[in-house]
Amino acid sequence: MEGAEATRIMMGVNESTIKGYPHASISSRGAFDWTLQKIVRSNTSGFKLLFLHVQVPDEDGFDDMDSLYASPEDFKNMKHRNRTRGLHLLEYFVNRCHEIGVACEAWIKKGDPKEVICHEVKRVQPDLLVVGSRGLGPFQRVFVGTVSEFCQKHAECPVISIKRRADETPQDPVDD
């Protein structure tokens, strides 16, 4: 199996939902660390990681809730801020891959995360999709919805859902 093409692992990554914390969510980092430790291990040349960050159009304006939009430029500025946040997120993962020596790619899409992820799986055809999961209870799931469950059913490649470790669960499990 030497010399075979690298195993391409797509990872859906997102930001912490806690406001003012523009960093990778606990569950995204957990899924990333797990993949490195348990799958990639020392075989850094055998894998390529593909990081997809999906920005939800409605949520993106969260920080801009009290802003006033008076000109097309205001929207451009907002878009610029969102782009910056997304890039900051991806930078974290790309930097870590470079430190370790694992090939990677990263990109941003807009839309409903679960549908965009499945669409991108179809387009990019990775060998495996890894998604973090917040491990919400059935009651919370109804309202929050789980990207991981949807992807396990609909993505056209094998899927691993990595649950956040119990000791990393924030007080409100929706905060991640």
Distance of alpha carbon 3 from alpha carbon 58, whole angstroms: 45
Left, alpha or beta for 74 (phi > 0: left; psi -120 to 50: alpha)?
A: alpha
- Interface stretch with a copy of itself, choices 55-63, 75-83, 85-93, 152-160 (CB under 8 A): 152-160
169 scored as a contact of a copy of itself (CB under 8 A) = no
What are the Cα distances from residue 22, in Å, to 73, 120, 122, 149?
A: 23, 24, 29, 25
- Touching a copy of itself, residues 29-48 (CB under 8 A): 34, 36-43, 46
Measured between its terminal Cα atoms, the distance across the chain in Å is 39
β-partners of residue 11 are 51, 130
Instruction: Please state the closest distance from residue 147 (CB atom) to a copy of itself, in A.
Output: 14
166 scored as a contact of a copy of itself (CB under 8 A) = no
Distance of alpha carbon 90 from alpha carbon 127, whole angstroms: 21
Instruction: Please state the closest distance from residue 40 (CB atom) to a copy of itself, in A.
Output: 8
165 scored as a contact of a copy of itself (CB under 8 A) = no
Q: Are 133 and 148 in contact (CB under 8 A)?
A: yes
27 scored as a contact of a copy of itself (CB under 8 A) = no
- Touching a copy of itself, residues 4-23 (CB under 8 A): 4, 7
- Touching a copy of itself, residues 51-90 (CB under 8 A): none
147 scored as a contact of a copy of itself (CB under 8 A) = no
Distance of alpha carbon 10 from alpha carbon 111, whole angstroms: 17
Instruction: Please state the closest distance from residue 52 (CB atom) to a copy of itself, in A.
Output: 19
Of 128, 136, 147, 164, the one binding a copy of itself (CB under 8 A) is: 128
Q: Are 22 and 88 in contact (CB under 8 A)?
A: yes
Cα 151 off chain centre by: 13
Of 57, 158, 165, 172, the one binding a copy of itself (CB under 8 A) is: 158
- Interface with a copy of itself (CB under 8 A): 1-2, 4, 7, 34, 36-43, 46, 127-128, 152, 158-163
